[in-house]
Amino acid sequence: MSKRSGLVPIYGNYHGYYSKRPFTEDRRLGLLPKNLFVGKRVLDVGCNEGLVTCQIAQSLRARRVIGVDIDESLVRTAWKRRRAIWSQQAPPSISENTPHNGTESPNKKRKRAVSPSRAPQPDYFPVSCEHMFGPLSIPPQSTRLDEFPHNVTFRAADWVNAEIAEDTEGYDVIVAFSVSKWIHLNGGDDGLMRFFRRVYTALKPGGVFVLEPQPWDTYGKAKRMDAKLKETAKDLKIRPDDFSRILREVGFGQVEHRGETGEGGKQ
Ligand SMILES: C[S@@+](CC[C@H](N)C(=O)[O-])C[C@H]1O[C@@H](n2cnc3c(N)ncnc32)[C@H](O)[C@@H]1O
C-alpha cells in the first residue's frame, strides 16, 4: 500500500478529485437502474475521497457501503467527508415528513413517515454553517445501522492484492469507477485479470459489477507519470474494448452498456 513515488498519483490517487464537482448526484450513478443499490451491500473500489460512496449510502439507499482505496490519506479524507455530508442532511423528522416545499398534507405526511423508501434531504444544512461552526457530530450508532451515515465504512487497502474483512460476507454490487486503468498500469494484464476474478468471487450469486473503464487513449498521459508504469504499459495486450469479452470469460453473464455521461475530469 505504500506509494512508490511521493506526490505522483500513480494509482489515480488524486487529492481534491471532487473539488470542482457540484454537490449533486454523480452523473455516472444516474445512468444506472434507479433501485440498483436499494437495500444492497455494496463495495466501491477506488473510492477516493468517498463522495460516490456516500451518495450510494445516502441518496441511493444502500443497506451497507464499503469504500476501499489504496491511499490511506484519501481514506482519512473520506471519513471526514462522510461527516460533512451527514452535517448537511436534514434531521430525520424533517427529511421523513416534509417535502422540499414544506406543503405536504398531514395524511401524506403520515404515509411518508412509515415508508421504507423515504429519502433524506442531503442539502438541508448550509455549507456556510459548517465552515463557521464545524460539522455536526454524528449520533452514536443506536438503531439504524443500515442508514446513512452508519451504513458507510472506509478501508485502506490495495483491493486487487489484499482482502478486507468485509469481503467475507460478499457483496450484492461492486462499483469500480475510473479505476481499471490504474490497476492495469500498475499490475499489468495479470493484475487486471486478478481484479476481475476477485470481483467475480466477492459478488454474491446474482450480484452486479458496475465498471466504468477508462478508454485506451487516456493511458498514454497516465503512463508518462512514472517510469515503472511506462515499462508495464509496453507489455499490455488487453485493451478496454476487450473487457466485455474478458468479463464473460471470467464468468459474468450479460454485459450491459449503460452509456456515457460525457463528464470531464481526471481519469
Ligand atoms: C481516478 S480515482 C477514481 C475515484 C472514484 N472511483 C470516482 O470515479 O469518482 C481512482 C482511485 O482508485 C484508487 N485505487 C487505484 N488502485 C487501487 C487499488 N488497487 N485498490 C484500491 N484503490 C485503488 C486510487 O487511489 C484513486 O483514489
Domains within the chain, CATH numbers bracketed:
29-78+147-250 (3.40.50.150)
Task: Tell me whether strands 152-156 and 203-212 are parallel, antiparallel or unpaired.
Answer: unpaired
Atom of ligand 1 nearest to the CA of 48: 27
Average pLDDT over residues 260-266: 62
State whether the beta carbon of 199 lies less than 6 angstroms from ligand 1.
Answer: no
When pLDDT is cut at 50, 70 and 90, the band that residue 117 belongs to is: very low
Give the per-residue pLDDT at 93: 62
**118-134: pLDDT as tens digits:** 456 766 666 677 777 77
72: Cβ below 6 Å to ligand 1? Answer: no
Ligand 1 mean position, distance from CA 177 (Å): 8
Task: Round to whole Å and give the CA distance between 87 and 172.
Answer: 28
Query: What is the number of the ligand 1 atom nearest to the C-alpha of 183?
Result: 16
What is the b/e burial string over 51-87, where b = at least 16 CB atoms within 10 angstroms of the residue's CB?
A: bbbbbbbbbbbbbbbbbbbbbeebbebbeebbbbbbb
pLDDT digits 0-9 by tens, 27-77: 999 999 999 999 999 999 999 999 999 999 999 999 999 999 999 999 999
CA of 179 to the centre of ligand 1 (A): 5
Given a cut of 50, whether residue 87 has pLDDT beyond it is yes
Task: Tell the residue nearest (CA) to atom 14 of ligand 1.
Answer: 46
Q: How far apart are CA 176 and CA 47, in angstroms?
A: 8
Query: Which of the four pLDDT bands, split at 50, 70 and 90, describes residue 85?
Result: confident
**Which of 75-79, 114-118, 228-232 has the lowest average pLDDT?**
114-118
- The CA dihedral of 156, 139, 85, 25, to the nearest 10 degrees, is 90
Give backbone dihedrals phi and psi of 205, rounded to 5 degrees, phi first: -55, 135
Tell me the mean pLDDT in the region 220-238.
96
Predicted pLDDT at 134: 76
Cβ-proximal residues to 69 (8 Å cutoff; 6+ apart), any chain: 13, 46, 47, 48, 75, 78, 154, 155, 156, 157
Instruction: Tell me which residue of 23, 53, 51, 50 sits closest to 37, measured CA to CA.
Output: 53
**Ligand 1, residues 29, 77, 179: which to mutate, most atoms within 8 A of Cβ?**
179
Helices (H), the chain: 51-58, 72-88, 92-97, 106-114, 127-133, 180-202, 219-223, 227-234, 243-250
